[in-house]
Chain A
Amino acid sequence: MVFMSVGLNQTALAKTNTQKPINKDMVSEKVLANGLKVLVKEDHRAPVVVSQIWYKVGSSYESSGTTGVSHALEHMMFKGTTKYPGDSFNKIVSRNGAEDNAFTSRDYTAYYQKMEKSRLEMSFDLEADRMRNLLLPEEDFLKEIMVVQEERRWRTEDKPQALLYEQLYVTAFDNSGYHHPIIGWMEDLKKMTIDDLKQWYQTYYSPNNAILVVVGDVQTEEVFALADKYFAPIKPFPNLVIKKRTERVQRASKRIELMVPAKSAYINLAFKVPVINTAKENWEPYALELMAGILDGGDSTRLNQELVKGQQLAASAGTGYSANSRLDNLFILDGTPAEGKNIQQLEKALLEEINKLQQTPVTNEELERVKNQIVASAVYEKDSIFYQAMKIGQAEASGVGWKTEAEYVQRIREITPAQIQQVAKKYFKAKNMTVAVLDPQ
């Protein structure tokens, strides 16, 4: 099970000083002696709780030859321990009425259960157990790696736009861990062995490389005590060293044309940009978030107004930017040409939109609109305990930290039109660009 960690590009800002008290924004933190960070946020609106455990390992930690191992390990985490062999895990979770799943991204692998509030102990028992005691039986692995291959076919091989997105990253990144796909190359999956997974598990699945996030109708101190009970006995791996594989400076404009069976052309236009975790100028990622919002924050924003409605060059056009990744990432503009229009026209129009942002500062009115959406979104998010947990977990797993994440709205508010123009000029240059075009066969 794979999750494309898309930047949560919801950003809206309101000048509203809400008169009603909102849920406490309080996250309580406790780090156990073995390094496990436990974060708890109380939300008593409904008698439910979500518990997530995030391991700081994902595809960006992998090397050529064993790409996809983080995700394959995620699958195998459901295949049993000594205490809970075979499919016991699934049985217990199901019997307790919990909704569970897991996802792997470039920077993390995470597991969660959403359940009625009294079942939290079950969750901790299972997660603590499989953090250290996973059996990794080869027979199950040989079956499950076939399932992973089917997953790759389902997610990527038979979806032209997914193939293009994959090719975009391969082309854009020379040596960064973001180069290869989360699901891994089919060639690597076919040669993967259970020993690859064992080695991975024994390197990265350690309490000092993990974060436990709990959001819901719980009492913080009780959760800390429960976490202590189940997780404290697990010994950390003392020699865990993470090499940060940073991308070398790009000095070449890159372009590819993907030729695969398809019925519609498609384009991804990408530029290398910093993220919250890497930016030397702290404000830049927030300016980039707003730039994404100015272009694609809704129907009233530029790509829809100009390209879809105005010039009618695009059937759809959008942006993507993950401010919460661990390493420098891509700011992507994508588009599908309108009926009767070609991809070259669309590419030109997308570049023109960037040029406009470089030439002229956005208007205050436009910027306020995007900020208002961000602020409102921050309120709407509180309707979902899962979403709240995701924000905390992603921030922690990427290195940003929940405290910085909590300042997000404030940092967004501070960005000026001049700053947006600045990042547009600084990062959106030809020699920082990768263009990936899908040419339907």
Chain B
Amino acid sequence: MLTLNNSNIFKTILFSLFLCVPLIAQAAQTTGKIGSLDLHRWTTSNGMQVLFAPTHELPIVDLRLVFDAGGARDVAGKVPKPGLAKLTNGLVFEGSEGISANEIAKTFEGLGVQYGNSSHRDMAVLDLRSLSEKPIIDTALNTLNTILAKPSFDSAVLDRERNKLLVALNLAEQNPSSKASLAFYKAMYSNSQQEHPYASPSNGTKESLEAIQRQDLVDYYQQYYVAPNAILAVVGDLTIERVKILAERLSKTLGDGEHAPALPAVQSADAGKNITIEHPSTQTTIVLGQPILKRGDDDYYALYLGNHILGGSGFSSRLVKEVRVKRGLTYSVGSHFIAMRAEGPFQISLTTKNQSAAEAVGIVNEVLLDFIKNGPTEEEIEESKLNISGSFPLRTASNKSIVEHLAVIGFYNLPENYLDIFKQKIQSVSREQIIDAFKRRVIPAKMSTIIVGAKAK
């Protein structure tokens, strides 16, 4: 289903996503550990990657299916169709041959099964959470297979969901942060050299949404929701034999096909763009950044640790200290790298009252330039390393967080023991490496700045 999301409760501390390690060849089945759980990994007979961590203390099963079918694929066809990935993903649970949308909802909800879907730039996701009691999980899986075998993509349903997305566009229009994000991605990924897939607005535009037809969804699903383009992550109260069987079945249901091709590398422009957008708000939203980080990048650890100090660790970070604590200019400020299939953004963002916008931009640039020039102190590095290693057990403290990790490991082809590798590599990063990596990779002249707000009175 497509939902209009307006939850904004928690503190905005953004963590960089995971690490990159060079691609490895798929083994028949490998075993490792994640947290304190065993981790099993294999590929089904028609090419779906499976990662499974058994745990029997709670009678629940968490299942996450991810496909390389995100918004970046909207522009893969002859005609770009922004919003297609999102619509397709959103309609999977809205009726299939053999089961109507209402029956899907009633069946799952009657069993207390929680299900959901989401669409991002790289990934399309389907989630399921069920009690492990045999009649319940069996029905849940039967239902899931029926759903995935042949979604209807009913035209009337498409119209309705399309209309919801049109309303969502309106809601985004009244939200300065959404406005800024849209402009930011466009500025970073669209230039005279290249219109990179990441520039495409994943939620669509009025025009692009209205142009999408049922056949587009059918074709999209047929192309991308296939076994070789899928990762299945499972955590919970099942035996490996059971998971082997259910994975094989799901894999057959999804059917044969091809893994989506690699995305083009990002060719960045020589200079970043400065864009100002008028918006009737009391605060100005400021976003700066540039495309930098791809999965597998050698500079990953140095950039990760450097960013932790610069703006990725909340109150320990320079940006929070300078902009919020010292000057009281903002509630929310931070920086992060997103490692993606193609070069994902390095991003600094904050909000401040309109009258302080110019001052805030000045300070952020000052902090960034100083960091690039002089790097972090040894003390800052030590504090960050302590924080990262000390907080590690929290990453694998729940089944839910583990299934999310497994999906990422699978999707980006990371080794099973990547959490251990990450831990080690972070500990060995030196001050010189951070300075060197930031100098080479973070280029102020190439950073785009987006400012959304009202003119200060």
Contact = CB atoms under 8 A, between A and B. Distances in A.
A157 B279 CA distance: 13
Contacts of A316: 3-4, 164, 167
Given A298-B105, A305-B102, A379 B58 contact: yes
Given A375-B112, A376-B112, A143 B327 contact: yes
Nearest to A14: B112
A90 to B, nearest CB: 4
Nearest to B103: A300
B362 interface: no
A144 B328 contact: yes
Given A46-B35, A46-B397, A147-B331, A157 B283 contact: yes
Nearest to B5: A316
A264 B170 contact: yes
Given A153-B282, A159-B175, A372 B109 contact: yes
Interface string A252-266: 000000000111100
Given A143-B326, A300-B109, A316-B4, A94 B133 contact: no
Interface stretch (B382-390, B410-418, B430-438): B382-390
B281 A45 contact: no
A319 B329 CA distance: 36
Interface stretch (B6-14, B181-189, B266-274, B443-451): B6-14
A279 interface: no
B398 to A, nearest CB: 5
B160 interface: yes
Contacts of B324: 147
Contact of B56 (A20, A90, A309): A20
Contact of A48 (B55, B133, B352, B394): B394
A385 B3 contact: no
A34 interface: no
Contact of B133 (A19, A116, A157): A19
Interface in A118-168: 119, 142-151, 153-155, 157-162
Interface string A201-220: 00000000000000000000
Contacts of B93: 299
A339 B102 contact: no
A144 to B, nearest CB: 7
A312 B160 contact: yes
Contact of A299 (B1, B171, B173): B1
B335 interface: no
Interface residues of B, number: 82
B391 A98 contact: yes
Given A143-B328, A263-B174, A384-B398, A12 B112 contact: yes
Contact of A1 (B11, B175, B281, B329): B11
B59 A379 contact: yes
Interface string A1-38: 10110100000111010111011000000000000000
A64 to B, nearest CB: 22
B11 A101 contact: yes
Interface centre among B35, B133, B397, B398 (most CB of A within 10 A): B397
B105 A46 contact: no
Nearest to B236: A383
Given A46-B393, A154-B351, A299 B110 contact: no
B396 A146 contact: no
B36 interface: yes
B16 interface: no
A119 to B, nearest CB: 8
A115 interface: yes
Contacts of A150: 283, 328-332, 351-353
Given A143-B328, A154-B332, A158-B281, A23 B394 contact: no
Given A4-B9, A16-B136, A87-B325, A98 B390 contact: yes
Chain A interface helix/strand/loop/mixed: mixed
A119 B56 CA distance: 27
A18 B59 contact: yes
B160 A309 contact: yes
Contacts of A372: 109-112
Contacts of A18: 59, 131, 133
Sort chain A's interface into a size bin: 35 or more
Contacts of B398: 46, 383-385
B167 A336 contact: yes
A97 B392 contact: yes
A339 B111 contact: no
Given A377-B112, A379-B60, A114 B8 contact: no
A23 B55 CA distance: 13
B237 A20 contact: yes
B173 A263 contact: yes
Contacts of B114: 376-377, 380
Nearest to A157: B282
B177 to A, nearest CB: 9
A240 interface: no
Given A263-B171, A338-B163, A369-B106, A376 B111 contact: yes
Given A264-B170, A316-B164, A369-B109, A158 B331 contact: no
A97 B386 contact: yes
Contacts of A337: 167
A297 interface: yes
Nearest to B352: A150
A264 B174 contact: yes
B60 A94 contact: no
B166 interface: yes
Interface in A241-283: 261-264
Contact of B102 (A117, A154, A300): A300
Nearest to B62: A383
B156 to A, nearest CB: 10
A91 B113 contact: no
Interface in B368-419: 383, 386-394, 396-400
A48 B394 CA distance: 7
B174 A315 contact: no
29 contacts: A45-B58, A47-B36, A94-B315, A98-B391, A115-B391, A115-B394, A142-B328, A147-B324, A150-B331, A151-B332, A153-B351, A158-B281, A158-B283, A159-B175, A299-B93, A299-B104, A299-B109, A300-B105, A300-B106, A301-B109, A304-B105, A305-B102, A312-B160, A312-B163, A316-B167, A374-B112, A380-B114, A382-B58, A383-B58
Interface of A: 1, 3-4, 6, 12-14, 16, 18-20, 22-23, 45-48, 78, 87, 90-91, 94-99, 101, 114-117, 119, 142-151, 153-155, 157-162, 261-264, 297-301, 304-305, 308-309, 312, 315-316, 336-340, 368-369, 372-377, 379-380, 382-385, 440
Given A3-B10, A154-B283, 6 more contacts: A14-B112, A48-B397, A94-B313, A95-B383, A116-B392, A153-B281
Interface of B: 1, 3-4, 6, 8-11, 35-36, 55-60, 93, 101-102, 104-106, 108-114, 129, 131-133, 136, 160, 163-164, 166-168, 170-171, 173-176, 237, 280-283, 313-316, 324-332, 351-353, 383, 386-394, 396-400
A-B CB proximity, top 6 nearest: A97-B390, A376-B112, A146-B328, A300-B105, A97-B391, A299-B105
